[in-house]
Amino acid sequence: MDAIFNRTRRPREVIAADLGVDPGRRWVVLATNPIPFERNAVLLATARQGVLRWGEPALLLVKLHPSEDPAPYRAAIGQDPGVVVVPHGKVDLYDLLSAADAVLTFHSSVGLEAMAFDRPVVSLEAFGEENPLPYARSGAAAAARSAEELARTLREDVAPGTKTEERRAARARYVRDNLLAADGKSSRRVRDLVLSLTQGRSP
């Protein structure tokens, strides 16, 4: 996780040029998982409809897992100008998360990484499966089981939403509780702890 903080992030305008998209629109990033495409296709459909029903000028950027083939995703979206498939290697995940207006996840640690950038996160809890990661239960993220819930959540959680500040405080607590100090020095602290133990000193 130190890489989140110990790097220079590319500006949104540069990312937009790489992707050929409008930097002035809201960006909702769907980070996919290496699960069967049939399940990812359901999540994609929910995300597309939810972003559309949000009512904002927004783009859905589908950031693929490194193991995934972009072809099925491109076939699924067809000529939809509101959806952009971002295959692995096209744009760095952390650059994209830092530039996003909201991030959608399904049982993924990407949610925590997005929270480290103070980005609104929505846990897509499709298939009747609650996210084993307690994003929504902690209040740090919202849960959405349908396109309607996703649209409502985007209205509430993305500025100037009604829950923006409340969710921001919960995200900060979640990051603190799970990353401790978000200062890019965690690996150094672990190193020092291991060295102190090997030298017989108490941490």
Strand ranges (E), the chain: 26-31, 58-63, 83-86, 102-105, 121-124, 142-144
Structural tokens at position 51: 């972003």
Residue 98 lies in a domain: yes
Residue in 165, 103, 162, 111 with CA at minimum distance from that of residue 135? 111
Residue 78 lies in a domain: yes
Residue 182 lies in a domain: yes
Going by the DSSP 8-state scheme, the letter that residue 199 receives in this structure is: T
Round to whole Å and give the CA distance between 31 and 103.
7
Q: What is the pLDDT of residues 134-153, one digit of tens each?
A: 999 999 999 999 999 999 99
Residue 87 CB neighbours (<10 A)? 17
Task: Give me the CATH number covering residue 68.
Answer: 3.40.50.2000
Count structural domains, the chain: 1
Structural tokens at position 69: 């083939």
Residue 6 lies in a domain: yes
Domain that holds residue 160: 2-198
Structural tokens at position 80: 């939809």
Q: How confident is the model at residue 202 (pLDDT cuts 50, 70, 90)?
A: low
Q: What is the pLDDT of residues 53-106, one digit of tens each?
A: 999 999 999 999 999 999 999 999 999 999 999 999 999 999 999 999 999 999
Structural tokens at position 35: 């699960």
Residue 123 lies in a domain: yes
Residue 203 lies in a domain: no
What share of the chain has pLDDT > 90, as a percent?
77
Residue 34 lies in a domain: yes
| pTM for the structure as a whole | 0.89
Residue 184: per-residue pLDDT: 78
Residue 137 lies in a domain: yes
What share of the chain has pLDDT > 70, as a percent?
97
